Structure 1
């Protein structure tokens, strides 16, 4: 579809037009002209870009869909609808489905179900069969079939020897392991962050030590094998410090943080609202300060949604038995703006670096490039409610709240989706 955007601010550190206000013309899926005073055509849509930002299309490294097997939570259509509304033109979807994505058959299923859409959906294959952490899954076959990376999702790879063998194996074909950091023996059945809040609420606390010990193990293994490892959803100041030092020491390590861990603190649990129950748990304001510092100095490579849809019966229950996770694809941008990230940082952490980590082509806003971008209004206020929620699930504390920062349109694969 042809499109002309007038007077929009470009946010793309890789573009020669970065930070400039320009007109952008798209024809047949390519950016054909960028400049000032581009003439309008009777063929295609014209968009007034005043006050809007144009970024490379967002890409999420950490998204659960539920298809196959848990379609009552989310299917590929509803997930990609929510993704588009959140500005995402690409998703890496985790293997925690039924059956688990642990062979090329499941990888091919997801690719076939999602093909032809605006949103690129890339399966992440399981590291272990059935996510049990005992037997390696069909890693190389899945890679050949199109798996973008490998992860056991929110399941911890607890066995040190198994993790060591997995790193060795994927190194042979330049694969990437994305691991959730938690020492299970220390975490136990903890519900929330270990602090004065956990004592006040009378719940067993999950210490930062559980996350940091696990990261330390993976740093040692990555160093020993000279193999890359990606740590998913870090949440503590100690984790930031460990990864910062490891990068300085030359370890092939990367990491991401969930958007809600940059805004929400453990004090929000005082009312036992299960919609704030996430894992890793919400931490202290001092941790948020450290995470923001890690984003700015490059320690933290990317921001993720950690989208975890659940049916109502798994969340509208007592806090201690409620499932972990929130839906988040549509709220990442507002949370990042609330946290204080600027347009350049958002483009880097939400569009460019996630693709770099997976070895994917990074879209660039320049003439002759394939059009893959997101347009958003950083100051527009909107109500996130059941009518504007595109997910099949509704487990989020932000429902019926007024948010700032709205996606106005996304463009990818010669397809345009606009929002009023």
Structure 2
């Protein structure tokens, strides 16, 4: 644990309805005070955050760390370094590893590996054994080992009975069930959004209905069981509408959106860059607009990267054969911040979607700078402009279509437990 004084920054903390120029004092790893004019004491490191925005540490509730089993793409250690460089203090990793995190032994392995990392790493367990959708995983045992949610992300639980049982059982532990919503029967061999562009580009399409059918089904099952449901990587206007209607009825459902679904449309697929191949696919402008409106009004609760690292050999192939996914931890901030700069989303709503909301969904004690809270802080310069350079990534993978993009908003410091775990100034020395 460390002592730290962050001075002169604009502190934005939705958990306290706070937006003001203040100092933040962290003692013994916990927030001690937030007020103006705090003087430094001996043994306390001082960070000058003048001109920067200071927020609770960011929480990414949807990452793939590929460990165990796929360490050529990412490890827990490299993923944690990427998270810190991207401003994230807490991340949750999905269960599609090898072996799958469907039992307490894999869960314990993840936490053992994460114990040496500066970023807080949380494990999400599988819904079904082997992600096969046939039999429930060892949910109770994994809960005892520390999982914060269950998901077959990367695959969809196609069997409605199994999904109902998962939702029923999750209530015993108050675990959120995270749904990867794609009906395989409708998706077929689709590799991009079904529409005019899939015809133009000569690629097989994945219709919006493939997502919306599962979203609708799972909302009905959440209503039936009273369990907590979360829809991962929402990508269509129809899904946003379904979420909005479900929330109005009092159903316990939340949703998230990714940077790529908020920024890109299926036009980006036209150059056949396989880094644009994601699941669910990039959609149309009407869907992007609906997602942004959903973030603005809170229908979309959280922002999540779906950080999905892949090796060069898995991406430098024909579009049909390439792996789904792109990295996101190190470049999410400027795209989230763009929603404020260009789309009128209040900064407090963006910060809430990166902190308080995902922490609440996962049930973890993060996302606030209230006195007594963990001293996890993210600090960024809202005016800094630069170009994304994938060669600087801490991640072991470089699969991004955003290389060379000019963006605004740069992480300056990442702090966990009062310890500075990333400093942009030290990176440039």
Pair in the same fold by TM > 0.5: yes
Distance 1:372 1:385 in 2: 27
Corresponding residue for residue 8 of structure 2: 7
Distance 1:30 1:250 in 2: 35
CA displacement 1:95-133 (0-9 Å, x = unmatched): 111111010000001011111432111111111111100
Q: CA deviation at 1:354?
A: 0.4
Distance 1:376 1:186 in 2: 42
Q: CA deviation at 1:42?
A: 4.9
Select 2:369's aligned residue among 358, 365, 389: 365
Corresponding residue for residue 51 of structure 2: 51
Corresponding residue for residue 199 of structure 1: 199
User: Is 1:99 matched with 2:96?
Assistant: no
Q: CA deviation at 1:370?
A: 2.8
Where in structure 2 are there 5+ consecutive unaligned residues?
Answer: none
1:26 and 1:133, CA in 2 relative to 1: closer, same or farther beyond 3 A? same
**SS in structure 1 of the partner of residue 384 of structure 2:** strand
- Equivalent residues of 1:118, 1:413 under 8 A apart: no
**SS in structure 2 of the partner of residue 79 of structure 1:** helix
1:162 and 1:33, CA in 2 relative to 1: closer, same or farther beyond 3 A? closer
Corresponding residue for residue 405 of structure 1: 409
- Equivalent residues of 2:4, 2:418 under 8 A apart: no
Distance 1:201 1:33 in 2: 56
- Equivalent residues of 1:187, 1:210 under 8 A apart: yes
Corresponding residue for residue 172 of structure 1: 172
CA displacement 1:115-161 (0-9 Å, x = unmatched): 14321111111111111001111011000110111001110111111
Corresponding residue for residue 39 of structure 1: 39
Distance 1:328 1:144 in 2: 30
Distance 1:105 1:230 in 2: 25
Distance 1:74 1:169 in 2: 32
1:36 and 1:226, CA in 2 relative to 1: closer, same or farther beyond 3 A? closer
1:35 and 1:164, CA in 2 relative to 1: closer, same or farther beyond 3 A? closer
Q: CA deviation at 1:168?
A: 1.5
1:407 and 1:342, CA in 2 relative to 1: closer, same or farther beyond 3 A? farther
Corresponding residue for residue 424 of structure 2: 419
**SS in structure 2 of the partner of residue 353 of structure 1:** helix
Distance 1:331 1:277 in 2: 17
Corresponding residue for residue 138 of structure 2: 138
- Equivalent residues of 1:363, 1:371 under 8 A apart: no
Distance 2:225 2:266 in 1: 37
Distance 1:30 1:100 in 2: 35
Q: CA deviation at 1:39?
A: 2.3
Select 2:382's aligned residue among 378, 382, 405: 378
CA displacement 1:305-360 (0-9 Å, x = unmatched): 00000010000111111111000001111111123344312221011100101111
Corresponding residue for residue 67 of structure 2: 67
User: Is 1:311 matched with 2:311?
Assistant: yes
- Equivalent residues of 1:102, 1:128 under 8 A apart: yes
Distance 2:231 2:324 in 1: 19
Q: CA deviation at 1:296?
A: 1.4
CA displacement 1:188-216 (0-9 Å, x = unmatched): 00111111111111112111111111111
Q: CA deviation at 1:387?
A: 4.3
Q: CA deviation at 1:386?
A: 4.2
User: Is 1:248 matched with 2:252?
Assistant: no
Q: CA deviation at 1:163?
A: 1.0
Aligned residues: 419
Q: CA deviation at 1:237?
A: 0.4
Q: CA deviation at 1:10?
A: 0.6
TM-score scaled to structure 1, two decimals?
0.96
Question: Mean alpha-carbon deviation: is it higher for 144-153 or for 375-384?
Answer: 375-384
